[in-house]
């Protein structure tokens, strides 16, 4: 068990009141204890899951040298520069059926895509490149080199080598690869359970009558979407009003049922509410002011389950969820309240941490470079995530413009954006035409 104080002590320059965005990820990486429980499941259930072991290939794929084209198989040694080649057709090799005959010099075999290369033949001429006259084919000079259009045994996967590594996310391509090995089920790490709720007396649940000064809860729906896309099992705990007993019940039940808890609201400085006090009471929690925009305040920590057993709220936690949690603590992410800040802090920090918790080896999406088609004001000394619209410039290169208004409550601009322009800590103003980093939303949501 690592405490927050231990991690803080290891990080040079750690300042919870002016924390660099990159240090947030370093900190969280040290806090996360990846899940280890695994289960064996069929391929169709495995999409989006994380592989629990290296998957060693029991066979070579392809299992034989075979043809990549419909055409004629020949011995490539007969191809000589500057001379056409005429060969006599002596048979046909079909896919799924080896052609057993022998081929002498000056002969060839008609072959279909995927058919095993007949013994002694190493090159395939596509049928559209030859002229056929009776049982003779003629190939013009200079069209083919020895070895062309032949797929080699094991060129995709070699028998005995790992085809996929532990920690890889099973994408559609990975599912196909598993199937290509003849494997029907794979060991994957268990799914994460993540509980979430919104806090604040001004937050209305859907269906509630509007009151003056109140706003409908949007964060829960955004968080639901982000978690679902990540493949987590979600536990929706609703809107929790600013009352100590209700907050305590929510935190205790969430911690007993989930690997991680995500809340929104109630973590900013000067918040006159009970959310922060309850986090502090129940867990090992720290409150950060991150040098970033949007999303400055954030709470992180862990709630230890064995300390909750005596809570009056423990009994009502769902026993199904409780029973399948093996780890001793639930991670806590207290996100700010503003809807855009919720998404940005989730994508920048929570998502990489949850991927790590899932046992996934890749946690950061690649950033693209795009030319800014406008000037952007940016102060050095904080990381900014601006909503951007990336498009192809007339010359085919990538360009990006902001969605304009960057207020952290303006969720409509998040809908319009297809990427987040990441302006790094030390970076200053951006001039028209400068290249900037962009995190494409399609890679993370
Ligand atoms: P807070 O972080 O609690 O100070 O909230 C900052 C802003 O976000 C306030 O304007 C809140 O009304 C708004 N807000 C907080 N929670 C939510 C929510 N669940 N859905 C929509 N807006 C919210
Ligand atoms: Mg509030």
Please report the atom of ligand 1 found closest to the CA of residue 239.
19
160, burial (CB in 10 Å: exposed 0-12, middle 13-18, buried 19+): exposed
Stretch 62-73: mean pLDDT: 97
Task: Out of 263, 264, 269, give the residue to mutate to test ligand 1, the one with the largest number of ligand atoms within 8 Å of its CB.
Answer: 264
Q: Whose CA is nearest to atom 16 of ligand 1?
A: 337
Distance CA 5, CA 232 (A): 29
Structure tokens at 393: 């410039």
Residue 279, pLDDT above cutoff 80 = yes
**Ion ligand 2, residue ranges at CB < 5 A:** 200, 265-266
* Distance from the alpha carbon of residue 264 to the mean position of ligand 1, in angstroms: 7
* Distance from the alpha carbon of residue 342 to the mean position of ligand 1, in angstroms: 9
Helix, strand, or coil here: 272? coil
Backbone angles phi, psi at 346, to 5 degrees: -60, -50
Please report the atom of ligand 1 found closest to the CA of residue 265.
3
E-assigned strand segments in 116-259 = 123-126, 130-133, 136-139, 150-151, 162-164, 185-189, 193-199, 203-204, 215-216, 233-240
* Distance from the alpha carbon of residue 296 to the mean position of ligand 2, in angstroms: 14
Strands 19-20 and 284-293: parallel
Q: How far is CA 68 from CA 59, 123, 147, in A?
A: 20, 10, 11
Average pLDDT, whole number, for the chain?
Answer: 94
Residue 25, pLDDT above cutoff 70 = yes
Instruction: Spell out the domain ranges in the chain.
Output: 4-37+190-357, 42-47+52-56+164-188, 66-151, 367-440
Nearest to 255 by CA among 205, 287, 301: 301
Task: Out of 205, 299, 337, give the residue to mutate to test ligand 1, the one with the largest number of ligand atoms within 8 Å of its CB.
Answer: 337
Fold that domain 367-440 belongs to in CATH: Beta-clip (2.40.340)
Residue 341, pLDDT above cutoff 70 = yes
Assign 82 a pLDDT band (cuts: 50, 70, 90). Answer: confident
CATH of 4-37+190-357, one of 3.40.980.10, 3.30.465.10, 3.20.20.70, 1.10.10.10: 3.40.980.10
Residue 112: count of CB within 10 angstroms of its CB: 17
Task: Out of 198, 206, 214, 215, give the residue to mutate to test ligand 1, the one with the largest number of ligand atoms within 8 Å of its CB.
Answer: 215
- What pLDDT sits at residue 271? 64
**Residues paired with residue 19 on neighbouring β-strands, in sequence order:** 290
Residue 203 beta carbon below 6 angstroms from any ligand 1 atom? yes
- What pLDDT sits at residue 81? 75
- CATH code for the structural domain at 66-151: 2.170.190.11
Residue 66 beta carbon below 6 angstroms from any ligand 1 atom? no
Assign 422 a pLDDT band (cuts: 50, 70, 90). Answer: very high
E-assigned strand segments in 4-48 = 19-20, 38-42
Distance CA 59, CA 326 (A): 36
Stretch 83-103: mean pLDDT: 94
Residue 242 beta carbon below 6 angstroms from any ligand 1 atom? no
Q: Which helix (H) or strand (E) holds 303?
A: strand 297-304
Asked if the domains 4-37+190-357 and 66-151 are classified in one and the same CATH topology, the answer is no
Q: DSSP characters for 367-422?
A: PEEEEESS-B---TTSEEEEEEEEEE-TTS-EEEEE-S---TT-HHHHHH-SEEEE
Q: DSSP characters for 108-147?
A: EEEE-TTPBPPTT--EEEEGGGEEEETTEEEE-TTS--TT
Assign 320 a pLDDT band (cuts: 50, 70, 90). Answer: low
CA 279 to chain CA centroid, Å, is 29
- What pLDDT sits at residue 44? 97
* Distance from the alpha carbon of residue 42 to the mean position of ligand 1, in angstroms: 42
């Amino acid at each position: 068990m690592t405490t927050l104080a231990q991690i803080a002590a290891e990080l040079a320059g750690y300042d919870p009141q002016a924390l660099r965005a990159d240090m947030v990820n370093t900190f969280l990486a040290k806090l996360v204890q990846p899940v280890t429980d695994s289960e064996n499941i069929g391929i169709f259930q495995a999409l989006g899951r994380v592989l629990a072991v290296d998957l060693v290939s029991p066979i070579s794929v392809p299992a034989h040298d075979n043809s990549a084209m419909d055409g004629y198989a020949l011995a490539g040694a007969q191809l000589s520069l500057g001379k056409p080649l005429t060969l006599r057709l002596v048979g046909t090799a079909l896919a799924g059926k080896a052609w057993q005959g022998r081929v002498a010099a000056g002969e060839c075999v008609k072959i279909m895509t995927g058919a095993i290369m007949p013994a002694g033949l190493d090159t395939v001429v596509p049928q559209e490149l030859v002229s056929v006259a009776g049982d003779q084919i003629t190939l013009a000079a200079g069209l083919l080199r020895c070895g062309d259009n032949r797929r080699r045994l094991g060129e995709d996967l070699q028998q005995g080598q790992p085809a996929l590594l532990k920690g890889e996310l099973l994408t559609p391509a990975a599912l196909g690869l598993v199937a290509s090995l003849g494997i029907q089920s794979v060991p994957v790490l268990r799914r994460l359970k993540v509980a979430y709720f919104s806090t604040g007396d001004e937050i209305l649940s859907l269906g509630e009558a509007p009151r003056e000064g109140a706003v409908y809860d949007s964060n829960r729906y955004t968080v639901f979407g982000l978690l679902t896309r990540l493949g987590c099992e979600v536990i929706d705990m609703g809107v929790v009003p600013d009352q100590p007993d209700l907050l305590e019940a929510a935190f205790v039940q969430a911690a007993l049922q989930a690997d991680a808890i995500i809340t929104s609201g109630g973590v900013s400085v000067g918040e006159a509410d009970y959310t922060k006090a309850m986090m502090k009471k129940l867990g090992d929690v720290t409150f950060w002011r991150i040098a970033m925009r949007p999303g400055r305040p954030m709470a992180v920590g862990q709630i230890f389950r064995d300390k909750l057993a005596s809570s009056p709220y423990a009994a009502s936690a769902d026993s199904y969820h409780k029973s399948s949690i093996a780890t001793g603590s639930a991670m806590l992410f207290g996100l700010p309240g503003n809807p855009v800040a919720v998404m940005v802090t989730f994508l920048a920090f929570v998502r990489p941490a949850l991927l790590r918790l899932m046992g996934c080896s890749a946690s950061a999406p690649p950033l693209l470079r795009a030319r800014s088609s406008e000037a952007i004001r940016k102060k050095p000394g904080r990381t900014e995530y601006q909503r951007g619209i990336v498009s192809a410039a007339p010359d085919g290169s990538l360009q990006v413009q902001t969605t304009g208004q960057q207020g952290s409550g303006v969720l409509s601009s998040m809908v319009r954006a297809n990427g987040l322009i990441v302006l790094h800590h030390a970076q200053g103003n951006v001039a028209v035409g400068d290249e900037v980093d962009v995190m494409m939303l399609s890679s993370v949501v």
